[in-house]
Chains A and B, each alone.
Chain A
Amino acid sequence: MAPRLLARTTINSAILPMEAAPLLEISGVGKNYPSGQGQINILRDIELTIQSGEFISFIGHSGCGKSSLLNMIAGLTSISTGTMLFDGKPIEAPSPERAMVFQHYSLLPWLSVYQNVYEAVDSVQTELSKAERKALTDAVLTRVGLSNHVHKKPMQLSGGMRQRVAIARAFAVHPRMLLLDEPFGALDALTRGSLQEELLDLWSGDARTETVVMVTHDIDEAIYLSDRIVVFSDGPSATIKEIITVDLPRPRDKQSLMTSQTWNNLRTHLLLSLHC
């Protein structure tokens, strides 16, 4: 019960009582890894609050610890200092509430496309009947356009299709927060573009998965998808350099946006921020 009480105190001490409780509250978080005799500091003093319904991107150079932070939110890596509260409770272990899409797809190569999604659904959606679990698996695979490939093995699919399976698997467990670790980094530019749109489609079309946190290297991708962009300073001992609000209305049309002044300003700002 102790952590729960602690969480409530934190929420009550919020400055604006009218504001909804944040979905994720990161304060004073740091990460050290053991190295040789001592420890090496990867991240320090991370302060970040994410509201329900936001699309957040983490951007920064390689080795700045943005993926480490995502893994800590997932519960796959422990934090060294500070507190990290999800829905008011400390994050202690991985959970399907924070489903993750990995950079290298992480599909089980010996299972078919269908089975890859079904095993996750079957494991998590325990309140559904067997028929409902199957129907849900079929539905998400149809939504990502893979209904004709359900019996194939991941090795028989292109990179883009594999990542669609991984995204379908994550959405199928109805996470409250979706975590994406450079999901389109290994894909060609054309495939990346269409998957970005599909991701926005899925996100806006699914009332249950409101919040997305994505790690990316790609400035355009970050602007196109995000509500806020979290810029990391260079590692080691990286921290948040600045948080940029993307004030572009949704639904966003990529073609008209890319010629707009706001887009160009954001782009220039991010480029300068990442180069200094």
Chain B
Amino acid sequence: MAQMIDVIPRREHSALTSMRYWLKMIWQTLNPIIIGMLILASLWQVAAWISDGALPTPLATASTLGELLSNPFYDNGPNDKGIGIQLLASLGRVFTGWGIGIAIAIPLGMLLGSSARLRKMLAPVIEILRPVSPLAWYPLGLAVLHNAPKAVVFAIVITSLWPTLVNTTMGVQNIPADLKAVSKVFRFSRWRYISKVLLPAAFPAILTGMRLSMGIAWMVIVAGEMLAGGTGLGFFVWDSWNALSLERVMSAILIIGITGLCLDRVFSVVGQRMAAWQEGGH
């Protein structure tokens, strides 16, 4: 009997402990984020005071952001569209440019990683093209493509492909010699080697490259759309500046930052999942 009595309170106790545990975990995760955000907001507030009203305060921005987000998909003609439409336009260009970029960079990186001769040949070309500013490519794209949004996509392609190219090359170069020996001894065909050895071995490096490429693409899009006009977050920023609405500019900056963060998190999660899968998890 003593034992039975003992069991009941222990169960309640454990349920309570587990709830407390989870609340504590959530608090511990959120706590530093909240403090960080508060620091950012206070610095912003101080900057707004010092600038004597030129810079909008966090509160004024928040209310503008709320307005923008309350009706994100309205469309009142070419110069007045909801922030959601602008965001989707930018995302569409970013994914197109980034997609074309990695479609060039991954196969080329695989070739470069496999051939020292090719690396020696192309290294100077890559080193010359890589540091060129994204906007320098824009007129070139415009001249060839005769279309401002396409020229932006072109600028994204040519500036975002480098990290994927360099990382894929390194990933393929660093495939363990033992695994290459296995492929030779068991006479793996080229396709079997690529699909079962090269790609899985280089995958973490390729993913890192894709992540860095995405970061660059997202940086380039805003600048590109400022030049190109029409639609997109970059155009929205420039248009708001012309309308002297810095609250809208600040709101757009927040949206750009948060979207960039989300894109980066996606790669981080995919990377962790793949690593777990390679080690035998699910």
Contact = CB atoms under 8 A, between A and B. Distances in A.
Contacts of A124: 186-187
A102 B176 CA distance: 13
A153 B189 contact: no
A194 B182 CA distance: 25
Nearest to A152: B280
Nearest to B186: A120
A124 B185 CA distance: 10
Contact of A119 (B178, B186, B277): B186
A235 interface: no
Contact of B181 (A95, A100, A110, A153): A100
B192 A156 contact: no
Interface in A139-180: 152-153, 155-156, 169, 173
Q: Is the interface of A mostly helix, strand, loop or mixed?
A: loop
A155 B178 contact: no
A99 interface: yes
A95 B196 contact: no
Interface in A84-111: 93-96, 98-100, 102, 104, 106, 108-111
B215 to A, nearest CB: 27
A26 interface: no
Contacts of B197: 108
B228 to A, nearest CB: 42
B207 to A, nearest CB: 14
Given A96-B187, A119-B192, A106 B278 contact: no
Given A110-B278, A119-B192, A119-B196, A76 B182 contact: no
A123 B192 contact: yes
Given A106-B179, A108-B179, A109-B279, A99 B185 contact: yes
Contact of B185 (A95, A119, A156): A95
Interface string B179-215: 1011011111100100011001000000000000000
Nearest to A151: B280
B186 A111 contact: no
Nearest to A169: B186
A46 interface: no
Interface string B76-92: 00000000000000000
A224 B196 CA distance: 37
A100 B200 CA distance: 22
A74 interface: yes
Nearest to A173: B186
Contacts of A108: 179, 182, 196-197, 200
Contacts of B277: 110
A123 B181 contact: no
B172 to A, nearest CB: 15
Given A119-B192, A120-B186, A124-B187, A102 B181 contact: yes
Kindly list the 10 A-B residue pairs having the minimum CB-CB distance in the complex, ordered from nearest: A153-B280, A106-B178, A94-B184, A120-B186, A110-B200, A156-B280, A155-B279, A94-B185, A110-B278, A106-B182
Given A96-B185, A108-B196, A109-B279, 19 more contacts: A74-B181, A76-B181, A76-B185, A93-B184, A94-B181, A96-B187, A100-B181, A102-B182, A106-B181, A108-B200, A109-B278, A110-B200, A119-B188, A119-B192, A122-B192, A152-B280, A156-B279, A156-B280, A169-B186
Interface of B: 176, 178-179, 181-182, 184-189, 192, 196-197, 200, 277-280
